[in-house]
Amino acid sequence: MFTLIDLFGPGIFMKEKNKNKLRSADWFSPVDPKSAFIHRSWLRNQGYPDDYFRSRPVIGICNTWSDLTPCNGHLREFAEFVKRGVLEAGGVPFEFPVTSLGEILMRPTAMLFRNLAAMDTEETIRANPLDGVVLLTGCDKTTPSTVMGACSVDLPTIVVPGGPMLNGKYKGERIGSGTFVWQLKDKIKNEGFTPEDQIEAEICSARSSGHCMTMGTASTMACMVESLGLTLPGAAAIPAVDSRKKVLAQLSGRRIVEMVREDLKLSKILTREAFENAIKINAAVGGSTNFIIHLTAIAGRIGVKLDLKDFDDLGSKIPLLVNLMPSGKFLMEDFFDAGGLPVVINEMKTHLHNDALTVNGKSIGENNKNAECYNQDVIFPIDKPLIAEAGIAVLYGNLCENGAVIKPSAATPKLMSHRGKAVVFETIEEFLGTVDDPNLDIDENSVMVLKGVGPVGYPGMPEVGNMELPEKLLKKGIKDMVRISDGRMSGTAFGTVVLHVSPESSIGGVLGLVKSGDYIVLDVPNRKLHLEVDDTELEKRKSEWVAPKPVLERGYVNLYTSTVQQSHLGADLDFLVGKSGAEVTRDAH
Ligand code: FES
């Protein structure tokens, strides 16, 4: 008589012929028949044939798709291409959702939830019968959060970056997502920009699926994972809607199955050398300052020691090669057409650890050695760079004992050494309410200081450090001023902006003691940030200082503010640093 066993497989009661060492075998081929029944039977309701549970690598496709994260809106389609690849290579794909962080809509800031999303990713991977993972990412925080989570489990993992939007084009000119927003106030005030112009510009700057197409944080993160060796070569710059991105997804699906068979875990790729490469390549592409916080947090998860000073020591002498907004004038589609990140990596070969391993099993040097540049206006050769020294400068001084950062390539050269009178805004609300007051005592030589926007204070360290200039100064044609805060800045923004001041003002850092009228010295060539107030006066102010009240005393926000580390350590939650590995010995049944 014909039975279901004849139809659906080699026989669930048959003894396993090949005892495999896959992690998933603990779920699907356990010695206890009851457990085997439970783990397999319910999954069968999705129509999986029996061989899905027999010695085939099980691949989790971690998807950050969400309608609320438009930059990742195309990732469900990509998951299908990854699945194809996994199946072709003999693996079994299971797609799963994790918390998706949409930079644009989330309040008070998506950064508040990066560590929550990382925790979700980590625990979902560990708790399930997965042998390897593909991370589908895009918008700013979706890349670092998923990589952080995956690091704490340390399975074979490959990243598929979702890709940038096509170039924005407005009235024949390139219009960069994000970067244009920071110019908007000036355009409205000084260039007669109408509400109709604004709507037209909105439409023109988001004309396809994908993430911001400037060298903002999302593009920086895509370049970061490629530089670290976590993607197939050339992945970062392929536009989201280019058919080659789907091919990349499919090939990544094939490759992750091989990685499982090779036991090529994240920790074998994410070595100190890989992090050093990423810092140098980030300098060469003019990447976002957010790179520092995210890379530091990833290093903390995988167990590689990385200090804030490393970013300056390794990156600040690196030339800027990539002419992309906000530091330059082109966009990611141009970068891809010019040859993309492989060209930069090849140009940078004398600076890099070329033997650093990548997910395809080859070294980064080997992968990119034949890359050719097709447009030297977009990617400059290393002997004729766009800027001789780019990277990120790390400042120290009495105003930032644990450091602060500035991106010189996005700053005004003559402001890099500057002494000015502080104009202090105690909160972001005070700034927004007073900055355009014609009576505000401020001029172009002033130093704008914003408090209360660090990890604890805001909470979540929002991207408000690039404070808009006062209207009365914009009208005078002033385009830049020195600005200092304990917050972050959008990767699409620009200006002489000192960020990530640590310790932050809300936990008693000296930034919290600054008063309007104090003089501040910014000396980027000598890496100094100094408040010209003597120690006795500072001690007096400290003794009078009152810590701000917590915004919320329950829920995740409470957990976050009571455990978040300062920005120079990566702003991870202290109890999430490091990894717990992939083993889970207890079962639910
Ligand atoms: Fe998502 Fe810029 S808002 S990448």
Domain residue spans in the chain? 56-166+208-368, 169-203, 393-549
Task: State the distance from the centre of ligand 1 to the C-alpha of 297, rounded, in angstroms.
Answer: 20
Task: State the distance from the centre of ligand 1 to the C-alpha of 352, rounded, in angstroms.
Answer: 29
CA 125 from centroid of its chain's CA atoms: 20
| Residue 138 Cα: closest atom of ligand 1 | 4
| Residue 211 Cα: closest atom of ligand 1 | 4
Residue of 145, 179, 211 best suited for mutating to test ligand 1, as the one with most atoms within 8 Å of CB:
211
Residue of 139, 181, 205, 324 best suited for mutating to test ligand 1, as the one with most atoms within 8 Å of CB:
139
Fold of 393-549: Glucose Oxidase; domain 1 (3.50.30)
* Helices 114-127, 290-302: crossing angle, 10 deg rounding: 30
Name the residue with the closest Cα to ligand 1, atom 1. 139
Whose CA is closest to 128, among 144, 149, 113, 114?
149
Give the span between the Cα atoms of 194 and 187, in whole angstroms.
Answer: 9
| Residue 492 Cα: closest atom of ligand 1 | 2
**3-state DSSP percent of the chain in helix, strand and coil, to 5:** 40, 15, 45
Task: State the distance from the centre of ligand 1 to the C-alpha of 288, rounded, in angstroms.
Answer: 13
Residue of 65, 67, 69, 71 best suited for mutating to test ligand 1, as the one with most atoms within 8 Å of CB:
71
Task: State the distance from the centre of ligand 1 to the C-alpha of 360, rounded, in angstroms.
Answer: 28
User: What DSSP designation does 366 have?
Assistant: H
Give the DSSP H or E segment for 181. Answer: helix 179-190
Name the residue with the closest Cα to ligand 1, atom 2. 212
Please give all residues whose beta carbon lies within 6 A of any atom in ligand 1, as ranges: 71, 103-104, 139-140, 178, 211-212, 216, 218
Give the span between the Cα atoms of 235 and 222, in whole angstroms.
Answer: 8
Q: What is the 3-state secondary structure (H, E, C) of 462-519?
A: CCCCCCCCCHHHHHCCCCCCEEEECCCCCCCCCCCEEEEEECCHHHCCHHHHCCCCCE
Task: State the distance from the centre of ligand 1 to the C-alpha of 362, rounded, in angstroms.
Answer: 31
Give the span between the Cα atoms of 193 and 183, in whole angstroms.
Answer: 11
Residue 365: what residue type? Answer: G
Give the span between the Cα atoms of 137 and 146, in whole angstroms.
Answer: 8
Residue of 103, 142, 209, 215 best suited for mutating to test ligand 1, as the one with most atoms within 8 Å of CB:
103
| 58: helix, strand or coil | strand
Residue 398's CB is within 10 A of a number of other CB atoms, namely 15
Region for residue 348 given its phi and psi (left: phi exceeds 0; alpha: psi -120 to 50; beta: otherwise): alpha
Instruction: Give whole-number Cα distances, 431 to 349, 425, 468, in Å.
Output: 45, 5, 9
| Residue 140 Cα: closest atom of ligand 1 | 4
Whose CA is closest to 125, among 218, 60, 201?
60
Task: State the distance from the centre of ligand 1 to the C-alpha of 257, rounded, in angstroms.
Answer: 30
CA 128 from centroid of its chain's CA atoms: 26
Residues 176/218, Cβ–Cβ less than 8 Å: no
Q: What is the 3-state secondary structure (H, E, C) of 95-108?
A: EEECCCCCCCCCCC
Task: State the distance from the centre of ligand 1 to the C-alpha of 211, rounded, in angstroms.
Answer: 5
Task: State the distance from the centre of ligand 1 to the C-alpha of 207, rounded, in angstroms.
Answer: 14
Q: Residue 261 burial by CB count (10 A; 0-12/13-18/19+): exposed, middle or buried?
A: middle
The structure tokens 């081929």 sit at 29
Whose CA is closest to 120, among 141, 139, 146?
146
DSSP β-bridge partners for residue 357 = 363
Task: State the distance from the centre of ligand 1 to the C-alpha of 113, rounded, in angstroms.
Answer: 15
User: Helix (H) and strand (E) counts for the chain?
Assistant: 21, 14
Give the span between the Cα atoms of 213 and 60, in whole angstroms.
Answer: 28
| Residue 71 Cα: closest atom of ligand 1 | 1
Task: State the distance from the centre of ligand 1 to the C-alpha of 576, rounded, in angstroms.
Answer: 25
* Phi, psi of 247, deg, nearest 5: -60, -40
| 157: helix, strand or coil | strand
| Residue 103 Cα: closest atom of ligand 1 | 3
What are the strands of the beta sheet with 132-137, ordered from one edge?
A: 92-97, 58-63, 132-137, 157-161
Give the span between the Cα atoms of 85 and 62, in whole angstroms.
Answer: 15
Instruction: Give whole-number Cα distances, 56 to 19, 45, 457, 491, in Å.
Output: 11, 19, 48, 41
Task: State the distance from the centre of ligand 1 to the C-alpha of 414, rounded, in angstroms.
Answer: 31
Task: State the distance from the centre of ligand 1 to the C-alpha of 106, rounded, in angstroms.
Answer: 11
Supply 264's token pair.
Answer: 């090529």
Task: State the distance from the centre of ligand 1 to the C-alpha of 487, rounded, in angstroms.
Answer: 18
| Residue 178 Cα: closest atom of ligand 1 | 2
From first to last of its 589 residues, the chain has per-residue pLDDT tens of 455 555 555 444 344 444 448 999 999 988 888 888 999 999 999 999 999 998 899 999 999 999 999 999 999 999 999 999 999 999 999 999 999 999 999 999 999 999 999 999 999 999 999 999 999 999 999 999 999 999 999 999 999 999 999 999 988 889 888 777 877 777 887 788 888 988 888 888 899 999 999 999 999 999 999 999 999 999 999 999 999 999 999 999 999 999 999 999 999 999 999 999 999 999 999 999 999 999 999 999 999 999 999 999 999 999 999 999 988 899 999 999 999 999 999 999 999 999 999 999 999 999 999 999 999 999 999 999 999 988 899 999 999 999 999 998 889 999 999 999 999 999 999 999 999 999 999 999 999 999 999 999 999 999 999 999 999 999 899 999 999 999 999 877 889 999 999 999 999 999 999 999 999 999 999 999 999 999 999 999 999 999 998 888 899 999 999 999 999 999 999 999 999 999 998 888 8
| Residue 102 Cα: closest atom of ligand 1 | 1
| 328: helix, strand or coil | coil
* Phi, psi of 521, deg, nearest 5: -110, 120
Q: Is the dihedral of CA 390, 391, 392, 395 positive or negative?
A: negative
| Residue 72 Cα: closest atom of ligand 1 | 1
